[in-house]
């Protein structure tokens, strides 16, 4: 049980650093080729080398996504890419395609291989097959119930990873054809246009131009939007089922999202691992997760319910209670700090400060000034400002503002 890993997304170097600071044991990132998030802040080779240095210095692990499905014309390019990657000594590659797996074994045979959820592993026989092919860890299909996870654990001797938090695709484990059909951008090659998040209406053949709403509100209709996954309350069952790694979705999410979600799961997992018998779920953990942008939370397929439970929800709109407004860059001896704005904030308003280990505080913003001491009334996005912060503030802490209700 002490080996259970918390795995967080790293969309870029800044988010990677944040994930580590806020409690991740390992991070997963994408390179510039052969991943499934073409629009994320993917890492070039120099950035991957820097990421490797950062994770190694903190005794954390770095996994690289190579989970796109390979076309024949891309084989030579992948071989050349793997030859470059092999020098970085990453902890594992995440793959989906058997061809990619075979080329990794050929070019970089000592590298650990993790199987992506895109491979749709739903049974122990499949897990054993992949293990025999050289896979050390399987990220199980999201469609599995807790009983099915237990069954695979009993029948397969390799590491098991499951998603515990984040977006769910309206497609089998995320392998979707809708984006290709509507835009020509293949989700399976990293270029998903996310058409399941678009607004849709119904048009009758003999009435062109007349659009009829489908469960529509003032913002549109979201008939293909699933709820977001949130398993914070069910970590004891997952750990007891033999899951080795708990994965947070979100390489395209914000730095605030990575920090806020990672620190909650870190706190819950630490509490569980410290003393499973005395573990108690803290409702504050769930409250914190409501403060980041998300669709209504759900337990997915963990307790059954079937496919219909995940789609056609009338309330599948994004919601959050707080906005991310700033990052602490430096703290001075007099209690003031240098803050980089991410959204505008004003002198006199009440903000919240959050840091690792669930450290947080509310405070009223005092005087604002430039680094040169010029007074300001407002901190602008991307601007550096100096202001007083609560005692104990540290570089890397984030500032947030509660949204107005209504």
Whether residues 273 and 165 share a domain: the answer is yes
Whether residues 168 and 82 share a domain: the answer is yes
Residue pair 71/42 in contact (Cβ under 8 Å)? The answer is: no
For 191-208, b where at least 16 C-beta lie within 10 A, e where not — what string? bbbbbbeeeeeeeeeeee
Residues 6+ apart with CB under 8 A from 29: 10, 11, 16, 42, 43, 48, 51, 62, 63, 64, 65, 251
Alpha carbon distance, N-terminus to C-terminus of the chain: 44
Among 247, 277, 304, the domain-final residue is 304
Tell me, yes or no, whether 152 lies in a domain. Answer: yes
CA atoms of 268 and 218, how far apart (whole Å): 37
Tell me, what's the pLDDT at 25?
98
Tell me, what's the pLDDT at 309?
47
Whether residues 28 and 119 share a domain: the answer is yes
Residues 6+ apart with CB under 8 A from 196: 169, 170, 171, 176, 178, 224, 225, 226
Tell me, yes or no, whether 97 lies in a domain. Answer: yes
Tell me, what's the pLDDT at 219?
54
Whether residues 150 and 289 share a domain: the answer is yes
Whole-angstrom CA distances from 44 to 64, 65, 297 are: 12, 13, 34
CA atoms of 176 and 165, how far apart (whole Å): 20
Whole-angstrom CA distances from 258 to 26, 245, 251, 271 are: 13, 17, 9, 20
Which neighbouring-strand residues pair with 369? 375, 386
Tell me, what's the pLDDT at 41?
67
Whether residues 268 and 328 share a domain: the answer is no
Domain range for 83: 5-173+225-304
Whether residues 130 and 263 share a domain: the answer is yes
- How many domains does the chain fold into? 2
Whole-angstrom CA distances from 154 to 105, 162, 237, 273 are: 27, 16, 15, 21
Whether residues 360 and 297 share a domain: the answer is no
> What are the per-10-residue average pLDDT scores of the chain (406 residues)?
88 96 97 71 91 97 93 94 96 96 97 95 97 98 94 98 89 72 78 79 82 60 73 97 97 94 98 95 96 89 66 57 95 95 96 97 97 96 97 97 78
Tell me, what's the pLDDT at 13?
95
């Amino acid at each position: 049980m002490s080996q259970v890993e918390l795995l967080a997304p790293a969309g870029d170097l800044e988010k990677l650093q944040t994930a580590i600071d806020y409690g991740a044991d390992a991070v997963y990132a994408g390179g510039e080729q052969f991943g499934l998030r073409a629009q994320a802040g993917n890492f070039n080779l120099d950035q991957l080398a820097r990421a490797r240095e950062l994770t190694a210095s903190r005794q954390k692990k770095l996994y690289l996504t190579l989970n796109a499905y390979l076309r024949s014309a891309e084989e030579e390019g992948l071989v050349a890419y793997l030859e470059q990657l092999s020098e970085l000594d990453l902890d594992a590659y995440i793959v989906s395609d058997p061809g990619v797996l075979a080329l990794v074994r050929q070019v970089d045979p000592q590298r650990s291989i993790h199987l992506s959820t895109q491979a749709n592993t739903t049974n122990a026989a499949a897990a054993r097959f992949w293990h025999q092919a050289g896979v050390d860890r399987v990220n199980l299909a999201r469609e599995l119930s807790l009983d099915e996870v237990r069954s695979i654990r009993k029948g397969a001797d390799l590491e098991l990873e499951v998603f515990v938090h984040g977006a769910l695709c309206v497609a089998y484990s995320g392998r979707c054809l809708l984006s290709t059909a509507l835009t020509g951008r293949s989700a399976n090659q990293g270029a998903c246009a996310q058409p399941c998040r678009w607004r849709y209406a119904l048009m009758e053949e003999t009435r062109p131009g007349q659009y009829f709403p489908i469960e529509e509100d003032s913002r549109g209709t979201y008939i293909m939007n699933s709820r977001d996954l949130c398993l914070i309350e069910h970590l004891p069952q997952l750990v007891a089922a033999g899951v080795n790694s708990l994965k947070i979705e979100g390489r395209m999410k914000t730095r605030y999202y990575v920090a806020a979600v990672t620190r909650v799961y870190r706190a819950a997992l630490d509490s569980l691992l410290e003393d499973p018998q005395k573990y108690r779920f803290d409702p504050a953990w769930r409250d914190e997760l409501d403060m980041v942008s998300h669709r209504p939370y759900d337990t997915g397929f963990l307790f059954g319910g079937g496919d219909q439970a995940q789609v056609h929800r009338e309330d599948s709109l994004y919601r959050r209670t707080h906005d991310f407004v700033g990052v602490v860059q430096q703290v001075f001896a007099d209690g003031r700090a240098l803050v980089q704005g991410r959204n505008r904030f004003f002198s006199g308003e009440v903000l919240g400060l959050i840091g690792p280990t669930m450290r947080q505080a509310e405070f009223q913003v005092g005087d604002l000034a430039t680094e040169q001491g010029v007074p300001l009334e407002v901190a602008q996005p991307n601007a550096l400002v100096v202001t007083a912060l609560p005692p104990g503030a540290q570089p890397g802490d984030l500032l947030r503002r509660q949204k107005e209700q209504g």
